[in-house]
Amino acid sequence: MIEDDVMEAVEDDEWRSEEKKMTQQVLALTAEEFSTRLDRLLEKAGQYTKFLERKLMSVPSEEEAAPKKRKVTNKGRKKVEPVPIVSNQPKYLTGGVLRDYQVKGYKWMLGLYENGLHGILADEMGLGKTVQTIALIADLREKGVFGPFLLVVPLSTVPNWMSEMRKWAPDIPALQYHGAKEERLEMRRMNLDPYLSNKGGIRPGFPVVVTTYEIVCRDRSLLQNYKWKYIIVDEGHRLKNHNCRLVKELNLLCGGSVLRGGANKLLLTGTPLQNNLTELWSLLNFLMPEIFDSVDFFLSVFDFDGVGSNEHEKAILKKQTEENVVGKLHKILAPFMMRRLKTDVEKTMPEKKEIVLYIPMTSSQEGMYQSIVNGELAKVLEQCTGEKTSLNNLVMQLRKCSLHPYLHYEAKDASGISRTDHSIVEMSGKVKALDQMLKSLKSKGHKVLIFSQFTSMLDILQDYMEILRPGWKVCRIDGTTSLQDRKFQMDSFNTDSDYFCFLLSTRAGGVGINLIAADTVIIFDSDWNPHQDNQAQDRCHRIGQTSNVVVYRMITSNSVELKILERANSKRKLERVVCAKQSSISNTTKQASLTSEELRHLLQNDFTGHLAEVGDLSSKTLDLLLDRGSLFTEFPKKGEGYEIVEHKANAIVGAVE
């Protein structure tokens, strides 16, 4: 939503400046200082690990909890009926049955609470972090801990949190704390204050409070009166800038150390590491400032931010062989972060394939692209429009041209109205390919999600569909869509088979949305941050999906978009190195060192189109890639104009024992 986007954009600008200063101030510690501080950190991590292990040891495995499989004979062949997932869960959690890994997740969080620790539930998107959190609250209330609990979430996810609370724990009161100043005053007076006790505590009727980042910043001094027992931040990577206002307000709201009566803290995020280790340190510093007190020390010991450079990767491999530096980082993170992947814990979830399509430019795009490179586009546009145009950001202008020339200039008729005809397809290589794809997918009964960074590009796609494909029913969500309209469109798309396509802006449509009716995702243009695209994909590849999912990532050949792929490779590698084997506390007790071969595997590229010529996608090849029957069986991993991506992390990360 707009308020989230604006706050994050302003604070990102502040953080870039702050990050540059910190990078320049990283101190060269002496060998003795390194050793002493690192040993102290490793010792604390080991102690916390032992605490949490005891909690997980009491959780029965899915095999132990589930009834035995029953064999059924059908025409002489033995079949196995699906086994219902049975697990021990809180009595207040009545809306469904948790999976085995979800029970372990909330038990792990319970262990954090009981030992006065804070943590990050970093499960891959789509594994039910929301319901695990609700299970934690239900368990604590069952034990007589009525909070108060404060959930701080993006505005776009508020309806989903309230809906999940009603579904899974209908007997637990919940309050959506949002609205005008007067409305919030009335909520405190009517819904919160009556449940305060004379002794400074709360009564059982005090609701779980769901609010937004922006409201916390506005009402922190008022909310601080309620002495929160647990503060849970959804999309916790929002705290990547440790100097942003939200972090400062939350620190005041938490009230210091748990030992001194402060709140327990929990972050929920499917992407604990997005850009660099400084941002990860910021999350850890918010949770445990007494342990993660120096970003200089953290960066000096774990110098992984150069991943993506061959020279730096060789240095990391050497340091791992000599000092097990990656293994030490894993041991330090293990007590504070639990991360599982869908491929490792949700065995029944359908497959997902990602295919990168390298699409040639049209002649119109080639001419415009060259004029941008030569610095001549402003003059050309002035000749076409009669108005002077300032084009300062070269990369942005090249990106727009790679998508569609209309993002720079759209022809108008004599009356000054934009001329929308079949040229809207013929002018852009991507839209030509998209038109072929959508016609094929529609004929085969698939539902499609299309993501773009640019709302202006969504405007063009919406015009294309409304004018040239008027029979298609289309939905759209971007940063201007109201909460009520978001919910209505999501419900319509998921329940009405006539809806075929959903247009979404990547940032606004990447969280708080469940669109499992779709089985196809088209990333029309990639984000510089690959985790934003991952969130987009997981709008349909999540629990509840019954069909295999195909993700088509569209890249314009020989364009600036190849640089985005290169950046995505670097960030994905860094995440894999940092988060490898962070699946369960039990992994850390074995002190297993990541081998050089495993580390080398983690440092492989996901994409290769920026490294060598892969050719341009042909119409015939695209037709073959749209055939699900062959795509999920034997299909070449790479060919002229495409490559099927295998995310290397799946082989290493998340082996739950």
Condensed to tens digits (0 to 9), the pLDDT of residues 612-655 reads 566 678 888 888 888 887 777 777 888 888 888 865 443 223 33
CATH code of the domain covering residue 374: 3.40.50.300
pLDDT of amino acid 86: 42
pLDDT band for 389, please (50, 70, 90 cuts): low
Last residue of a domain, one of 283, 301, 319: 301
Which residue, 575, 514, 580, is CA-closest to 545?
514
| Cα separation, 588 vs 33, whole angstroms | 25
Enumerate the β-bridge partners of residue 153: 212
| Cα separation, 228 vs 247, whole angstroms | 16
pLDDT, average across residues 408-437: 78
Q: Could you tell me if residue 653 is inside a domain?
A: no
Q: Is the pLDDT of residue 656 over 60?
A: no
pLDDT of amino acid 161: 92
Which range (54-63, 208-217, 421-430, 647-656) has the least confidence?
A: 647-656
- For residues 492 and 430, state if they share a domain: yes
Report whether 305 contacts 276 (CB < 8 A): yes
Q: Could you tell me if residue 539 is inside a domain?
A: yes
pLDDT band for 442, please (50, 70, 90 cuts): very high
pLDDT, average across residues 59-83: 39
> Residue 174 has which token pair?
């919940």
pLDDT, average across residues 120-142: 90
Provide the residue range defining the domain that includes 126.
Answer: 2-62+85-301
Q: Could you tell me if residue 657 is inside a domain?
A: no
Q: Could you tell me if residue 601 is inside a domain?
A: no
| Cα separation, 194 vs 561, whole angstroms | 57
- For residues 504 and 642, state if they share a domain: yes
pLDDT, average across residues 231-259: 84
Q: Strands, DSSP E only, in 471-616?
A: 473-477, 499-505, 520-523, 549-556
Last residue of a domain, one of 242, 277, 301: 301
| Angle, vertex CA 212, rays to CA 210 and CA 218, nearest 5 | 115
For helices 363-373 and 394-403, angle between their N-to-C axes, nearest 10 degrees: 180
Q: Could you tell me if residue 145 is inside a domain?
A: yes
Q: Could you tell me if residue 175 is inside a domain?
A: yes
| Residue, of 460 and 319, whose pLDDT is higher | 460
Q: Could you tell me if residue 536 is inside a domain?
A: yes
pLDDT of amino acid 298: 73
pLDDT of amino acid 598: 54
Q: Is the pLDDT of residue 582 over 50?
A: no
- For residues 132 and 255, state if they share a domain: yes
pLDDT, average across residues 323-337: 70
Which residue, 452, 541, 9, is CA-closest to 238?
9
pLDDT band for 332, please (50, 70, 90 cuts): confident
Q: Are strands 71-74 and 77-80 parallel, antiparallel or unpaired?
A: antiparallel
| Residue, of 49 and 515, whose pLDDT is higher | 515
Distances (CA, A) of 554 to 148, 445, 449, 559, 571: 47, 22, 13, 12, 19
